[in-house]
Structure 1
Amino acid sequence: MAVPCFSEPPRIGGTLVWYFSICHREVWFMSHGIEPDREDDFLVMGRLIDENSYRRDRHSVSFGDNRFDIVKVEDGTLVVGEVKKSSRSIDAARLQLAHYLYDLWKDGIIAKGQLLFPKEKRRKEVELTEETRHRLDGVYEEIREIACMAAPPKAVKNRFCSVCAYSDLCWS
């Protein structure tokens, strides 16, 4: 059942999907235009790793409400790469990348995904499955519900709070 919203529905991009996997409060903040501290040390470090890794590939490609870290073609197949500073939140990264693949699929573009962890010298392949598409449809509905809440969800401590750019806002 759709939740009535008193403004435009959220534009669901990869960041909102990522936040959904980490903290629903972050989803609410982002969907209400409350940006994290852009100078947060962890965000700056992530941008530097993204900008300075895989230099031969095309970086920061916009597609709809998404921004792909890397786009390349391997053996005739489009590959979307998502660069992360660590695999600590690999489930969130996997869902974010699956979201990118799903948006491309909706436009008739079949692609593969690669999660890239340059500091760990690792990569993980991600493919879009019917099960993942179904899961993402549910995630999108939950994101819309969170975005339509009058106030943010209650702050809940988790293992990512110590590196969160919103932590001052949540815990002050």
Structure 2
Amino acid sequence: MEKDITGMDIYYYNVCIKKLWYYSKSISMEHGNEDVSIGKMLDSDSYKNEYKNIRINNTINIDFIKSKREIHEIKKSNSIENAFIWQVKYYIYYLRGNGVEVNKGVIDYPLLKKKIDVFLEKTDYERIENMITRINFIKSSPVPCQVEKMKICGKCAYYDLCFI
């Protein structure tokens, strides 16, 4: 397990590898982005009775823990749900690798009034380890990867940097 791989690395890897590269080089375009600001407000205004933003080893940042064995992530929209699922699976993988037995993760969508349960299956370990290898490769590359323009690119904070 790599200590340098964060939950954001896993998330960005599953959204866009070019965005992952920029993020790994501390190039941030998200300041002032409306969608990012809304997400931050949603995170701070939701689940106020929970102890939130639990940072572990400067590697993962869990939105909140409902019980000792259930972690939660708060998300605005389910448009890139697959990336959220792998981020939560990585958190479970990371915690288990550090001796914390977590049974499941939950992705909370307060605006949608929806929750989904996320479980780390035995078959997910190999996929996560492959992601870690690829992420390390992408982060060590001297130039960003070329990517195809996707539907989600139009709302991305990095759009101007990538396509204009």
Give TM-score, length-normalised by structure 1.
Answer: 0.89
- Aligned equivalent of 1:69, options 60, 63, 66: 63
Residue aligning to 1:12: 5
1:78 correspondence with 2:105: no
Structure 1 contact 114–126 (Cα < 8 Å) conserved: yes
Q: Give the whole-Å Cα distance in 2 for the aligned partners of 1:141 and 1:89.
A: 22
Residue aligning to 2:23: 30
Q: Deviation digits for residues 58-113 of structure 1, max 9, x if unmatched? A: 1111012111111221xxx4211111101111110000000101110001111120
- Runs of 5+ consecutive residues of structure 2 not aligned to the other structure: none
* Counterpart residue type for residue 38 of structure 1: H
Residue aligning to 2:136: 144
1:90 correspondence with 2:116: no
* Counterpart residue type for residue 116 of structure 1: D
Give the secondary-structure state (helix, strand or coil) at the position aligned to 1:160.
helix
Deviation at 1:36, TM superposition (A): 2.4
Q: Give the whole-Å Cα distance in 2 for the aligned partners of 1:136 and 1:35.
A: 25
Give the secondary-structure state (helix, strand or coil) at the position aligned to 1:130.
coil
Structure 1 contact 83–118 (Cα < 8 Å) conserved: yes
Stretches of 4+ aligned residues off by more than 6 angstroms: none
Q: Give the whole-Å Cα distance in 2 for the aligned partners of 1:168 and 1:155.
A: 14
Give the secondary-structure state (helix, strand or coil) at the position aligned to 1:67.
strand
Give TM-score, length-normalised by structure 2.
Answer: 0.93
Structure 1 contact 10–147 (Cα < 8 Å) conserved: no
1:37-116 equivalences under 5 Å are 37-64=30-57, 65-73=59-67, 77-111=68-102, 112-116=104-108
Give the secondary-structure state (helix, strand or coil) at the position aligned to 2:20.
helix
Q: What number of residue pairs does the alignment pair up? A: 161
- Aligned equivalent of 1:160, options 139, 152, 157: 152
* Counterpart residue type for residue 60 of structure 2: N
Deviation at 1:37, TM superposition (A): 2.6
- Aligned equivalent of 1:127, options 81, 106, 119: 119
Q: Give the whole-Å Cα distance in 2 for the aligned partners of 1:100 and 1:60.
A: 13
* Counterpart residue type for residue 122 of structure 1: K
Give the secondary-structure state (helix, strand or coil) at the position aligned to 1:85.
coil
Identity across the alignment (%): 25
* Counterpart residue type for residue 171 of structure 1: F
